[in-house]
Amino acid sequence: MSEKQLSRRDVLNTLLYGVPTIMAVAGGLDTALNRLLPAPESSKTTSQIIEEIKNKYGIDVSQPEKLTNGETNTPWNTSELLIIQEALGEVPPITLTNPHFPKQLHLYKSASQVGVNGFLNGTGYANSNIDIILTTAFNGTLENTGTEKVVFGTQKKLLKSILLHETTHSLTESNIELLKTWESSNGWVQNPDGAWANYYPEQIIPLANSNLYPWEDMAVSLSVFAENPSYLLKLSKSRYDFFINNPVFQNWNKVISYKKKACYYIK
């Protein structure tokens, strides 16, 4: 039997049960595994990760030569890009399919500026583009400081939350009715002068101007729901229930997972 005729079952039988197969005897195991099973994440190159993101999500990832201050941009490494790829896998399907979903992701990293928790100010969403600015001090395994430590723990989770946060802005931009439902469900009112106020400020996560604008509140809350659901449930049950019970989020892998674990409440 030629190597091309070897089946996936031959590979799995050998790995799981130690059963000698024609493939193993022929010495073709490594070659067959490389062909049949995906390469380990650690072996991917930055260009491979960027290409995978483009093919799956339609996002062009770029790393401009310069930061806005003229500093030479330091390229992101594979572990940082893998965090971005992982975070995209946690974005709700309704966000991925909305017409304003970002088409461009610009990644920056400063070697000279000092940020907080490995980040610089300036991360944001505008005109279907997202900018994320790290410093070379970023380390996904390190714990954050301040509120970010309490809410997200590690810098990796914070980076994932930022991508979830910014993509949520594209959703609320394209789905005004969903944002209005969020406002009425979580105590938001707009004053005659245009300023926003909330009846229950103690239930708002104090990050990213979430106490000033309902769209920031929703973006922060969604990212926390994805990365630390127990924190959101403890702080604001109405926000947690919004994602658990709203029909548009029922096919989101996070909602499905939490329901399977029975760690939710049905109204």
> In this predicted model, what pLDDT tens digit does every residue of 190-230 receive, in sequence order?
999 999 999 999 999 999 999 999 999 999 999 999 999 99
Lowest-confidence pick of 6-10, 59-63, 142-146, 174-178 = 6-10
Q: Which of 98, 123, 143 delimits the end of a domain?
A: 143
The share of the chain scoring above pLDDT 70, in percent, equals 82
Within this chain, do residues 56 and 124 fall inside the same structural domain, yes or no?
A: yes
24 band by pLDDT with thresholds 50, 70 and 90: very low
Within this chain, do residues 65 and 107 fall inside the same structural domain, yes or no?
A: yes
Residue 156, domain member (yes or no)? no
Taking 3-state DSSP, the helix, strand and coil percentages for the chain, each rounded to the nearest 5, stand at 50, 10, 35
Residue 130 bridge partners (DSSP): 105, 125
Q: What is the pLDDT of residue 263?
A: 52
Q: Are 133 and 120 in contact (CB under 8 A)?
A: yes
User: In the numeric block, which tokens belong to residue 125?
Assistant: 């969403």
Residue 136, domain member (yes or no)? yes
Within this chain, do residues 19 and 53 fall inside the same structural domain, yes or no?
A: no
Q: Which of 121, 143, 165 delimits the end of a domain?
A: 143
DSSP state of 66: B
Per-residue pLDDT tens over the stretch 32-87: 444 444 555 568 999 999 999 999 999 999 999 999 899 999 999 999 999 999 99
Within this chain, do residues 76 and 121 fall inside the same structural domain, yes or no?
A: yes
Average pLDDT of the residues of the chain? 86
Cα gap 266→164, rounded to integer Å:
25
Q: What is the pLDDT of residue 40?
A: 57
Residue 170, domain member (yes or no)? no
User: In the numeric block, which tokens belong to residue 36?
Assistant: 């049949």
Within this chain, do residues 87 and 22 fall inside the same structural domain, yes or no?
A: no
Residue 124, domain member (yes or no)? yes
Within this chain, do residues 84 and 107 fall inside the same structural domain, yes or no?
A: yes
Cα gap 17→259, rounded to integer Å:
34
DSSP state of 129: E
Q: Euclidean distance between the first and final Cα of the chain, in Å?
A: 60
Residue 120, domain member (yes or no)? yes
Angle, alpha carbons 126-253-147 (nearest 5°): 60
Within this chain, do residues 137 and 74 fall inside the same structural domain, yes or no?
A: yes
Q: What is the pLDDT of residue 112?
A: 92
Cα gap 265→141, rounded to integer Å:
32
User: In the numeric block, which tokens belong to residue 24?
Assistant: 């193993």
Give the total number of structural domains in the chain: 3
Range of the domain at 245: 175-260
User: In the numeric block, which tokens belong to residue 25?
Assistant: 């005897």
Q: What is the pLDDT of residue 127?
A: 82
Within this chain, do residues 106 and 179 fall inside the same structural domain, yes or no?
A: no
Residue 155, domain member (yes or no)? no
Within this chain, do residues 57 and 18 fall inside the same structural domain, yes or no?
A: no
Residue 80, domain member (yes or no)? yes
Residue 82, domain member (yes or no)? yes
For the beta carbon of residue 128, count every other beta carbon within 10 angstroms. Answer: 15
Within this chain, do residues 28 and 48 fall inside the same structural domain, yes or no?
A: no
